[in-house]
Amino acid sequence: MTLINSPQAPAAVGPYSHAAQVGNVLFCSGQIPLDPETMKIVDGGIEAQTKQVLANIKALLTTVGASFGNVAKCTIFLTDLGDFATVNGLYEEAFGKHKPARSTIQVAALPLGANVEIECIVEMPI
Domains of the chain plus CATH, in order, are 2-10+17-123 (3.30.1330.40)
pLDDT-based confidence at 126, cuts 50/70/90?
confident
- Is there a contact between 6 and 60 (Cβ–Cβ < 8 Å)? yes
pLDDT-based confidence at 125, cuts 50/70/90?
confident
pTM, whole model, 2 decimals? 0.96
Radius of gyration of the chain (CA): 14
Exposed / middle / buried, residue 123 (Cβ in 10 Å: 0-12, 13-18, 19+)? middle
Q: State which amino acid sits at residue 39.
A: M
Mean pLDDT of 90-100: 98
HEC readout, 25-89: EEEEEEECCECCCCCCECCCHHHHHHHHHHHHHHHHHHHCCCCHHHEEEEEEEECCHHHHHHHHH
Mean pLDDT of 19-28: 97
Mean pLDDT of 72-76: 98
Mean pLDDT of 4-33: 96
- Is there a contact between 73 and 102 (Cβ–Cβ < 8 Å)? yes
Mean pLDDT of the chain: 97
Q: For 97-108, write each residue's pLDDT tens digit.
A: 999 999 999 999
Return the pLDDT at 107.
Answer: 98
